[in-house]
Amino acid sequence: MANSRRRRISPGIPLTDAHRTLFASVQKRGAQSVCFFNNKGGVGKTTLVANLGAELSLNFEARVLVVDADPQCNLTQYVLGDEEVLETYNNSNDPESVYSVIRPLSLGKGYGTNLPIRQSEAFGFDIIIGDPRLALQEDLLASDWKDARGGGMRGIRTTFVFADLVSKAKDLKYDFILFDMGPSLGAINRSVLLAMDFFVVPMSIDVFSSWAIRNIGNTINIWQRELKTGIALAEDPAELESIDRTRTIRFLGYVTQQHRERTEEDADLDVVESDEASETRRKRIVQAYEEISEKFPEQISDSLGRFLDCVEINPFLGNVRHLGSLAPKSQSQHSPMISVRGTGRFVQSRKQAREIYRDIARRYLENLEKFLR
Ligand SMILES: Nc1ncnc2c1ncn2[C@@H]1O[C@H](COP(=O)(O)OP(=O)(O)OP(=O)(O)O)[C@@H](O)[C@H]1O
Ligand SMILES: [Mg+2]
Assigned domain for 10 exists: no
Assigned domain for 120 exists: yes
Helices 345-372 & 326-333, crossing angle to 10 degrees?
A: 80
Q: Provide mean pLDDT across the span 273-290.
A: 79
CB 362 within 8 A of CB 352: no
Q: Which atom of ligand 1 is nearest to the CA of 183?
A: 25
Specify the residue with its C-alpha closest to ligand 1, atom 30.
327
Range of the domain at 61: 30-372
41 touches ligand 1 (CB under 6 Å): yes
- Cα 124–chain centre separation: 16
pLDDT value, residue 244:
64
SS3 labels along 94-147:
CCCCHHHHHHHHHCCCCCCCCCCCEECCCCCCEEECCCHHHHHHHHHHHHHHHH
pLDDT tens digit sequence for 87-113 = 999 988 899 999 999 888 777 777 877
Assigned domain for 5 exists: no
pLDDT value, residue 261:
46
pLDDT value, residue 102:
87
320 touches ligand 1 (CB under 6 Å): yes
327 touches ligand 1 (CB under 6 Å): yes
Q: How many domains does the chain have?
A: 1
Assigned domain for 348 exists: yes
322 touches ligand 1 (CB under 6 Å): yes
77 touches ligand 1 (CB under 6 Å): no
If one residue of 46, 51, 73, 346 were mutated to test the ligand 1 pocket, choosing by the most ligand atoms within 8 A of its CB, it would be 46
Q: Which of 48, 25, 73, 146 is nearest to 360 (CA)?
A: 48
CB 19 within 8 A of CB 56: no
DSSP 27-56: HTT--EEEEE--SSTTSSHHHHHHHHHHII
Assigned domain for 23 exists: no
CB 273 within 8 A of CB 281: yes
Assigned domain for 61 exists: yes
pLDDT value, residue 2:
43
Name residue 316's beta-bridge partners.
Answer: 254
Q: In what order do the strands lie in the sheet with 64-69?
A: 118-119, 126-128, 64-69, 176-181, 32-36, 198-204, 250-258, 316-321
If one residue of 47, 70, 74 were mutated to test the ligand 1 pocket, choosing by the most ligand atoms within 8 A of its CB, it would be 47
Q: Which atom of ligand 1 is nearest to the CA of 322?
A: 3
Assigned domain for 55 exists: yes
HSE, CB side, 13 Å, CA atoms: give it for residue 269. 12
Tell me which of 109-113, 152-156, 357-361 is least confident.
Answer: 109-113
pLDDT tens digit sequence for 230-272 = 999 988 888 777 666 667 899 999 999 875 544 444 444 445 5
pTM: 0.91
CB 320 within 8 A of CB 48: yes
Q: How far is CA 225 from CA 201, 219, 231, 248, in A?
A: 21, 10, 10, 10
| Ligand 2 midpoint to CA 184 (Å) | 11
Q: Which residues contact 242 (CB under 8 A, 6 or more apart)?
A: 167
74 touches ligand 1 (CB under 6 Å): yes
The CATH number covering residue 244 comes to 3.40.50.300
pLDDT value, residue 260:
57
Angstrom distance (rounded) from CA 353 to CA 370: 26
Assigned domain for 198 exists: yes
Query: What are φ and ψ of residue 305, in 5° steps?
Result: -55, -30
pLDDT value, residue 5:
44
pLDDT value, residue 239:
79
| Ligand 1 midpoint to CA 47 (Å) | 6
Q: Provide mean pLDDT across the span 28-45.
A: 95
